[in-house]
A = this chain, B = another copy of it.
């Protein structure tokens, strides 16, 4: 069964011809989650041949434009393309008015149900549970209210030996050890790394992280693999960011536009085996 993340945008702040701003697509056992939706996400979905209508859930980490300015166009396109099925949207409560006012201006009534789930908790919160997956939101440390998201497969009796795969998305955040308990041991951690550590002061002022800091969080949280992204447009070459992160946490990769990362099923190690002489 698939458990994969496709990177639709990896830049911070401003779209460039090389990198779009933030959006990820998680495919968890054929259930598609769109995580953030910057301007241009529609076209990135097309480029990656992801069928819009298969997306059932959209999660928006916070209301900075580089994480949600593509949402209204995406919602409108689903409408124009004849969607009937519910779409679930998880976001800061302020997003509802931003959507409503724009739909009202164009005299559009969506022909599908848009179910809004406001994110307001100050702690880790279960926001969605299906038969096979739990999704949690947890607070990050940024200049506006911002959530990370954690996706964890559920064990069930029919697949008891399976490893429960997990993915954590930490969009915009300053270095914060408070998030470590939320993401401990995940298979794949996405953590923003807007700057090189030589710009740590600028990063801190803007409540962003450096590649060094992202890798430090990954190491302290004992995750299996780290993806870094949300790169400042100042970096044409991302290799120095990757090198910096790898110096702390070797299993790091760049979350570049169009890349897909599969989280593989692995058998749970037999606890007895480890105790044999």
Contacts of A106 in B (CB 8 A): 63-65, 144
Report Cα–Cα, A70/B38, bound state, in Å.
11
B69:A72 contact, CB within 8 angstroms: yes
Within the oligomer, what is the number of copies of this chain?
2
**A96 smallest CB distance to B (angstroms):** 11
Q: Is A258 an interface residue (CB 8 A)?
A: no
Given contacts A39-B39, A43-B15, contact A65 B76 (CB under 8 A): yes
Contacts of A16 in B (CB 8 A): 43, 46
**A200 smallest CB distance to B (angstroms):** 20
Q: Is A47 an interface residue (CB 8 A)?
A: yes
Stretch from A97-105, A222-230, A239-247 contacting the other chain: A97-105
Question: Which residues of chain A (5-44) have a CB below 8 Å from chain B?
Answer: 13-17, 39-40, 42-43
Q: Is A1 an interface residue (CB 8 A)?
A: no
> What total of chain A residues lie within 8 Å of the partner, measured CB to CB?
34
Report Cα–Cα, A102/B47, bound state, in Å.
28
B43:A42 contact, CB within 8 angstroms: no
Report which of B39, B70, B144 forms a contact with A107, defined as CB distance below 8 A: B144
Report Cα–Cα, A13/B43, bound state, in Å.
13
**A119 smallest CB distance to B (angstroms):** 13
Residue in A47, A76, A97, A143 whose Cβ sees the most chain B Cβ within 10 Å: A76
**A205 smallest CB distance to B (angstroms):** 15
Report Cα–Cα, A116/B17, bound state, in Å.
29
Q: Is A80 an interface residue (CB 8 A)?
A: yes
A81:B39 contact, CB within 8 angstroms: no
Report which of B17, B63, B69, B80 forms a contact with A47, defined as CB distance below 8 A: B17
Return 18 A-B CB contacts under 8 Å, by A number.
A13-B77, A14-B42, A14-B77, A14-B81, A15-B77, A17-B47, A39-B40, A40-B40, A40-B43, A63-B102, A63-B106, A64-B106, A65-B73, A65-B102, A69-B72, A69-B73, A95-B105, A101-B101
